[in-house]
Amino acid sequence: MKHKPRTTHDKRIVQYPSFRKEPQSQPRPDSSPQIQPHSHSHPHSGSQSNFHSNSNSNSNSHARASENDGPGELLILGRHEVLAALTSKKPPESIFLSASAHGPGIDGIRQAASRRQVKIQTMDPRLFRRKFGDEAQGIAAKAGVFAYSELKDIISEIRPEEPAILIALNEVEDPRNLGAVVRTAEVAGVRGVIIPKHRSAGMTEWALRTAQGAAAHLPVARVTNLAGAIEEMKEQGFWAIGLQGGASDRYDMISYPDKLVMVVGGEDAGLGKVVAGVCDKLVAIPVFGRTSSLNLSVSTAVVLFEILRQKGFQGGKPVSY
């Protein structure tokens, strides 16, 4: 089913209409076979423009592959990260512990490893530092290839009437930025992150490290065609809101729908013309200093928590720092 043109509004506060249920006999000709559309119809966006990105960041990557690990294996470094991995659906294969590492955090890891039947190997402190570095805080875990989710599975976990936010990232090449967005998204209650298979960082060791354990609780899906995936999510009743510098609508001057895909561009690529073209609305964050933009994860956080503020922070809990 093709989207009908959506009329534009001159009002500063943009109101989105309720979703209408109409019968659909077959998917659109360009639909992905992974996702069969529900009964929501979703009008297409009106005019689109190609702007510069509003979420730039340093694109130099510090991701590293371990010299001692086989292909596809991941190292999880740090006490918080290892404990989060032990509480995830797929625990790490093994844990390496420096003999000098002690404290409540280590005790908690020992208990969790015992419950999940994960072997702990105690190492000489000097050997541990040479292999894993000081940043590991005396604890490291070896895991297999990161378990990406399927987009259709993320969608299927969301009930048709249930409010939900998804995040789609276009060509985010720095794994630290990807990890930071995953952490921000999980804190904000996002239901899933979607990234392209090509021209994008994956959930590498540094992405997991920066995510601070959030990747163990938030599904990440990789897709071949991000614009096509966004179209498919729109067929499921989601609205696509893109964050783009230079957009005419300010991020806090629109009313966000209950089912939302927040689309954010990478450090250099931005949204790009194709991805921006499938968004229903483009919004921008105003800046006041000489620096032209915010960091990717900061921009994402600003808009996410504006969405939550509009929803009254329903289901939130007090935060501790």
- Please indicate, yes or no, whether residues 184 and 303 belong to a single structural domain of this protein: yes
Classify burial at 104, counting beta carbons within 10 Å of its beta carbon; exposed 0-12, middle 13-18, buried 19 or more: exposed
Is 313 in the same domain as 207? Answer: yes
Q: How many CA atoms lie within 13 A of 226 on its CB side?
A: 32
Among the candidates 107, 124, 143, a domain finishes at 143
Last residue of a domain, one of 98, 125, 143: 143
215-233 residue pLDDT tens: 888 999 999 999 999 999 9
The pLDDT tens digits of the residues spanning 98-115 come to 999 999 999 999 999 999
User: Both 280 and 235 in a single domain?
Assistant: yes
pLDDT at 320: 56
Band (72; pLDDT cuts 50, 70, 90): low
Write down the pLDDT at residue 71: 41
149: confidence class by pLDDT, cuts 50, 70, 90: very high
- What residues make up the domain containing 91? 74-143
Question: Could you tell me if 239 and 120 lie in one domain?
Answer: no
Number of domains making up the chain: 2
Are 266 and 244 a contacting pair, CB within 8 Å?
no
302: pLDDT confidence band, cut at 50, 70 and 90? very high
Could you give the percent of the chain with pLDDT greater than 90? 50
**What's the CATH number where 154 sits?**
3.40.1280.10
Element (H, E) at 138: none
Residue indicated by tokens 């086989």: 70
- Interatomic CA distance for residues 76 and 142, integer angstroms: 6
Residue 30 pLDDT level (bands cut at 50, 70, 90): very low
Same domain, 137 and 157: no
- 282 with 244: CB under 8 angstroms? yes
* 67: three-class secondary structure by DSSP: coil
Q: What is the DSSP letter of 21?
A: B
Sign of the torsion angle spanned by Cα atoms 234, 236, 239, 240: negative
Distance from C-alpha of 140 to C-alpha of 89, rounded to nearest angstrom:
18
Instruction: Residue 78: give its domain's CATH number.
Output: 3.30.1330.30
Residue 62 has pLDDT above 50, yes or no: no
- 259 lies in the same domain as 174: yes
